[in-house]
Amino acid sequence: MRYPFILTASLLFVLGIVRGQLVVDAVEFQGNKKTKTIILENVVQLKGNMPLDSLMIQRDVAQLIRVPSVSHATYEVIFLDNSEGCKVVYTIEENFTLIPFVSVYTTNQDEFAYRLGLQEFNAFGRNITIGGFYQKDIFDSYAIQVRHPMLFGPKMGLAFNYQNLTTQEPVFLNAGTAQYRYNNESVELLGLYQINSRHRVELGANIFTEDYQYLNGATSPNVPQSLKVNKYLLKTIYNYDATTYFYQYLDGYRSTFNLQYVKSANEAQLPEFIIGFADFLYYKRMGAKGNWANRLRLGLASNLETPFAPFAVDNNLNIRGVGNTIDRGTAAIVLNTEYRHTLMDKKWFVLQSNIFVDAGSWRNPGGDFSDFGDKQNIRVYPGIGLRLMHKFVFNAIFRIDYGYGITPNSSQGIVFGIGQYF
């Protein structure tokens, strides 16, 4: 990947010396059948009447590939006759972007849950995401979302989310475990701003109601059997992405920082608290068919002594095979690492295997950081999995993973889903 670019950049540099300063007369796009050309023009930095800049072109190609409607992109510099100028043509391979998705997960504890949804990632050809899902996890849940990253121009947009999520949640008491029916109904509005091709920020607010209703299990006089409280949160998200994408292969680094301030309408029921977490992801190409992927997740929240702590140990969030929300904490350290190997790579279809290790530990509510070293808080789950991919359908990756716990009192389980785990 690097050597052709170095050769091309060197050639353009030499031509620039020989012919004088090259000026881009026009920037054109081809191959985009659904995506509006004006959207692609907003994505790239290179414009007409600008000096030819091979580094800028390379950044534009990388940014185009990150657009959901684009599977792959290349470019060509065409020198014009009888002119010191040239035109740059970006060629787009489009994705199919109306995507159904399904997540199914179970463990050896006979738990079973699923989520069915539908998302359009390029509505109206303008890079707008519209979607929703239905979830069955003992109880019924649903959500809708709209995301328009260019509503107010090339760099500014809005996102709206509505969610009505109901699950059965374990609450861990000194006397044992209680089961609660948990409902979270929320409305969220976020402002989106892209600083440049690698840096993005999101700022917004969420108004929500949490409702806990006791079902069965242990009880405690200090823990209510019924709790309903209105809350709001202020949220800041910062994303950095320096990853190179080449179909199923990723190479590079990206990170996400999420900081939230949560306040209850009734301080007597639940005091205000702050929660923050960061994901650090590193990908490395290994030979022609291998890809090493890593995610380190660090989370920290106000250390309230509450059974409703914010960081959950869960199949779909951090530890494959562990079960559906088996523990909670006020701080978390999770490391996921896996090696992905392409077994079959056809024109449109890819079969990929992976071996992984998921490991993590949590701070108990009201505890201290020494909790991370307690054996009862440490989970280590190695496992294997398969990926079935369509190259030209956005995020069309069907995954199945089997994780087996090797730490004390561990479980084992299968996790299905759409998209890479991280």
What residues contact residue 152 under an 8 Å CB cut-off, 6+ apart?
Answer: 158
Angle at 135 between CA 133 and CA 137, to 5 degrees: 165
Q: Among the three residues 63, 94, 125, which one is the final residue of a domain in this structure?
A: 94
Tell whether 345 and 292 lie within a shared domain. Answer: yes
pLDDT of the residue at 193: 97
Contact 126, 151 (CB under 8 A): no
Answer with the residue of higher pLDDT: 11 or 226.
Answer: 226
Place of tokens 């328009």: 148
Tell whether 232 and 336 lie within a shared domain. Answer: yes
pLDDT at 11 over 60: no
Answer with the residue of higher pLDDT: 136 or 281.
Answer: 281
Tell whether 212 and 144 lie within a shared domain. Answer: yes
pLDDT at 169 over 90: no
DSSP state letter for 314: -
Q: Shortest CA distance to 67 belongs to which of 217, 245, 235? A: 245
What value does the mean pLDDT take over residues 83-94?
90
Tell whether 299 and 348 lie within a shared domain. Answer: yes
pLDDT at 348 over 80: yes
* Six-digit token string for 234: 């202020």
The model's confidence at residue 10, banded by pLDDT at 50, 70 and 90, is: low
Q: Total structural domains in the chain?
A: 2
Answer with the residue of higher pLDDT: 389 or 416.
Answer: 389
Q: Mind listing the pLDDT tens digit for each residue in 274-297? A: 999 999 999 999 999 999 999 999
For residues 60 and 29, what is the distance between their CA atoms, to the nearest angstrom?
A: 12
pLDDT at 67 over 50: yes
pLDDT at 179 over 50: yes
Tell whether 108 and 30 lie within a shared domain. Answer: no
The model's confidence at residue 3, banded by pLDDT at 50, 70 and 90, is: very low
| Residue 313 falls in which region: left (phi positive, over 0), alpha (psi -120 to 50) or beta | beta
The model's confidence at residue 145, banded by pLDDT at 50, 70 and 90, is: very high
What value does the mean pLDDT take over residues 339-352?
95
pLDDT at 102 over 80: no
pLDDT at 2 over 50: no
pLDDT of the residue at 20: 53
Q: Which residues of 353-366 are buried (b: 16+ CB within 10 A; e: fewer)?
A: ebebbbbbbbbbbe
Residue 18 neighbours by CB distance under 10 Å: 7
For residues 371 and 174, what is the distance between their CA atoms, to the nearest angstrom?
A: 16
* Six-digit token string for 296: 């380190």
What value does the mean pLDDT take over residues 300-319?
87
pLDDT of the residue at 361: 96
pLDDT at 220 over 90: no
DSSP string, 74-123: EEEEEEPTTSSEEEEEEEEEEPB-EEEEEEEEEETT--EEEEEEEEEEEE
For residues 187 and 146, what is the distance between their CA atoms, to the nearest angstrom?
A: 12
What value does the mean pLDDT take over residues 260-275?
84
Q: Where are the beta strands (DSSP E) in 174-225?
A: 176-194, 199-217
Residue 157 neighbours by CB distance under 10 Å: 20
Q: Shortest CA distance to 190 belongs to which of 230, 219, 159, 226? A: 159
CATH number for the domain spanning 23: value is 3.10.20.310
DSSP-derived 3-state class of residue 310: coil
What value does the mean pLDDT take over residues 244-263?
95
What value does the mean pLDDT take over residues 204-228?
91
pLDDT at 269 over 80: no
What value does the mean pLDDT take over residues 353-379?
94
What value does the mean pLDDT take over residues 48-65?
93
Query: Across all residues in the chain, what is the average pLDDT?
Result: 89
Angle between helices 54-66 and 2-19 (to 10 degrees): 140
Tell whether 109 and 247 lie within a shared domain. Answer: yes
For residues 364 and 414, what is the distance between their CA atoms, to the nearest angstrom?
A: 27
Tell whether 198 and 231 lie within a shared domain. Answer: yes
Range of the domain at 75: 2-94
Place of tokens 């995020």: 395
CATH number for the domain spanning 393: value is 2.40.160.50
Cβ burial, residue 368 (10 Å; 0-12/13-18/19+): exposed
Cβ burial, residue 98 (10 Å; 0-12/13-18/19+): middle
Tell whether 227 and 358 lie within a shared domain. Answer: yes
